[in-house]
């Protein structure tokens, strides 16, 4: 079976991959995903993302890029949020500091292409690609992540120490979620091209060996129950506000005068309970809210809107690297919006979500309503025409 990369090539999920140390994606998911770490020497070899120190520092200075500076001074740790101009960063020769830059996949084609190598995991689980730059002994201290992560060494060397069990108490004297006590059971030094996969819950500590250490972290989110419930309930309420409900506003014309004004009326409690139930009982309400939430762009993401009309005949299309798109049995979701898709368009738009591009032949198959959506997405900068070619 095949998974689609953004560049049009396919991933055979049953074929061995150098990226996974000779395991196929299927075998990796069965053996290691959310179960146990995997160390891969030369996972990418020379095919590393084209990210250099100067590019990273320039991104950290932008206000549309999330960045952080972590500096260690003995047992004291300091955290500063970006944007971070170059003059705000310590000297390269000073030991013990780290610059973290989030979301490189949103800003660099090479980083976005790197992410496409991991599309044997659903896009719905993807968080982003972060790159850290560290001087000698730089790091963020021992910690535990609640998500799956692939740690790819891009430049320099980094020593990783990991432990599955142990005390999870946190230090209260640092501005980071750092473990108070950490004893590693396993330890490796990663060279450029090496990669370490860690499931959630494994404590780990990475420290640069020498300067110019760059590590890419490909993170896959696993939302908690409270986070998910809060997000979905908010979206469900928004859907009710847009569409209205059959019962309308609460009324109590027959209510008697009360001798207990502090008591919440039972009828109002019943009305509230029914309102929530009706919101949940609408067909595909939860699925729709989930699709919207999963594709919502991050807060600092915005698109260049070139305007324009419908795609010209013979034009192929590709999604912008910042666009999030997903699908289920009923809807297509793009950047937090839900579209109920007619049967004739469903297979084409699902192919767009899976492959992130459409050939001119597929574009020509779209019905009038779907073509209107595509025209809106083009005008908003969510996707781009690749010219009068049959293939993107």
Tokens read off for 309: 């009309």
Tokens read off for 60: 């950290």
Domain-located, residue 288: yes
Domain-located, residue 363: yes
102 shares its domain with 179: yes
Domain-located, residue 171: yes
81 shares its domain with 154: yes
168 shares its domain with 39: yes
Domain-located, residue 93: yes
Domain-located, residue 321: yes
Secondary structure of residue 318 in the 3-state scheme: strand
192 shares its domain with 295: no
307 shares its domain with 212: no
Domain harbouring 66, CATH code? 2.60.120.650
201 shares its domain with 306: no
Burial degree of 57 (CB within 10 A; 0-12, 13-18, 19+): middle
Looking at residue 243, its pLDDT comes to: 58
Per-residue pLDDT tens, the chain, 392 aa: give them: 656 555 556 789 999 999 999 999 999 999 999 999 999 999 987 677 778 899 999 999 999 999 999 999 988 999 999 999 999 999 999 999 999 999 999 999 999 999 999 999 999 999 899 999 999 999 999 999 989 999 999 999 999 999 987 788 999 999 999 999 999 989 999 999 999 999 999 999 999 999 999 999 999 988 889 999 999 988 888 877 665 545 578 888 888 888 888 999 999 999 989 888 888 888 889 999 999 999 999 888 889 877 665 666 678 999 999 999 999 998 999 999 999 998 889 999 999 999 999 999 999 999 999 999 999 999 999 999 886 554 44
39 shares its domain with 149: yes
Residue length, the chain? 392
204 shares its domain with 340: no
Question: Which of 167, 196, 220 finishes a domain?
Answer: 220
Ordered DSSP codes for 65-89: S-EEEEEEETTEEEEEES---GGGS
Tokens read off for 347: 């297979």
Tokens read off for 297: 């762009």
What is the residue whose two structure tokens read 């009309």?
309
The candidate with the shortest Cα–Cα distance to 183, out of 199, 198, 161, 201, is 161
pTM: predicted TM-score of the whole model, two decimal places: 0.88
30 shares its domain with 154: yes
Looking at residue 388, its pLDDT comes to: 55
Looking at residue 392, its pLDDT comes to: 46
Domain-located, residue 229: no
Is-contact 232 287, C-beta < 8 A?
Answer: no
Tokens read off for 48: 């590393």
Paired sense of beta strands 383-385 and 317-319, if any: antiparallel
What is the residue whose two structure tokens read 């490909």?
218
**Domain tally, the chain:** 2
300 shares its domain with 211: no
Dist. CA 259–CA 277, nearest whole Å: 31
207 shares its domain with 317: no
Tokens read off for 242: 């847009």
Buried b (16+ CB within 10 A) or exposed e, 310-336: bbeeebbbbbbbbbbbbbbeebbbbbe
Domain harbouring 374, CATH code? 3.40.366.30
Question: Which of 220, 237, 264 finishes a domain?
Answer: 220
DSSP 303: -
The candidate with the shortest Cα–Cα distance to 7, out of 47, 59, 56, 45, is 47
Tokens read off for 208: 């640069």
Q: What is the residue range of 131's domain?
A: 2-220
297 shares its domain with 210: no
Looking at residue 275, its pLDDT comes to: 84
DSSP 123: G
Is-contact 160 196, C-beta < 8 A?
Answer: yes
Domain-located, residue 262: no
Question: Which of 220, 250, 275 finishes a domain?
Answer: 220
Domain-located, residue 226: no
Show Cβ contacts of residue 195 under 8 Å, excluding neighbours closer than 6 positions.
19, 39, 40, 43, 44, 150, 151, 152, 153
């Amino acid at each position: 079976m095949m998974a689609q990369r953004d560049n049009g090539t396919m991933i055979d999920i049953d074929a061995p991959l150098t990226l996974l140390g000779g395991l196929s994606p299927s075998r990796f998911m069965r053996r290691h995903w959310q179960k146990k770490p995997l160390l891969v020497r030369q996972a990418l070899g020379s095919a590393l993302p084209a990210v250099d120190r100067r590019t990273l520092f320039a991104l950290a200075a932008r206000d549309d890029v999330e960045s952080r500076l972590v500096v260690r001074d003995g047992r004291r740790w300091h955290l500063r949020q970006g944007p971070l101009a170059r003059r705000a960063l310590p000297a390269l020769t000073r030991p013990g500091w780290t610059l973290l830059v989030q979301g490189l996949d949103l800003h660099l084609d090479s980083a976005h292409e790197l992410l496409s190598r991991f599309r044997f995991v659903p896009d719905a689980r993807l968080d982003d690609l972060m790159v850290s730059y560290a001087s000698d002994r730089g790091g963020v201290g021992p910690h535990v992540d609640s998500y799956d992560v692939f740690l790819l060494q891009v430049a320099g060397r980094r020593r990783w120490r990991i432990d599955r069990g142990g005390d999870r108490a946190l230090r209260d004297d640092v501005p980071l979620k750092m473990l108070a006590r950490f004893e590693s059971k396993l330890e490796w030094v990663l060279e450029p091209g090496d990669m370490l996969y860690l499931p959630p819950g494994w404590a780990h500590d990475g420290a640069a060996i020498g300067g110019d250490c760059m590590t890419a972290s490909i993170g896959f989110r696993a939302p908690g129950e409270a986070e998910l419930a809060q997000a979905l309930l908010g979206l469900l309420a928004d859907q009710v506000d847009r569409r209205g409900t059959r019962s309308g506003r609460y009324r109590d014309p027959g209510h008697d005068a009360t001798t207990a004004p502090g008591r919440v009326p039972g009828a109002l409690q019943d009305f509230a309970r029914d309102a929530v139930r009706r919101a949940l009982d609408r067909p595909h309400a939860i699925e729709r809210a989930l699709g919207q939430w999963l594709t919502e762009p991050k807060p600092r993401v915005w698109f260049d809107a070139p305007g324009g009309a419908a795609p010209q005949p013979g034009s192929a299309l590709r999604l912008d690297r910042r666009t999030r798109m997903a699908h289920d049995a009923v809807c297509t979701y793009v950047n937090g919006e839900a579209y109920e898709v007619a049967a004739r368009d469903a297979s084409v738009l699902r192919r767009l979500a899976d492959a992130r591009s459409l050939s001119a032949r597929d574009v020509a198959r779209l019905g009038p309503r779907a073509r209107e959506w595509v025209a809106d997405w083009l005008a908003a900068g969510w996707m781009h025409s690749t010219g009068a070619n049959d293939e993107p």
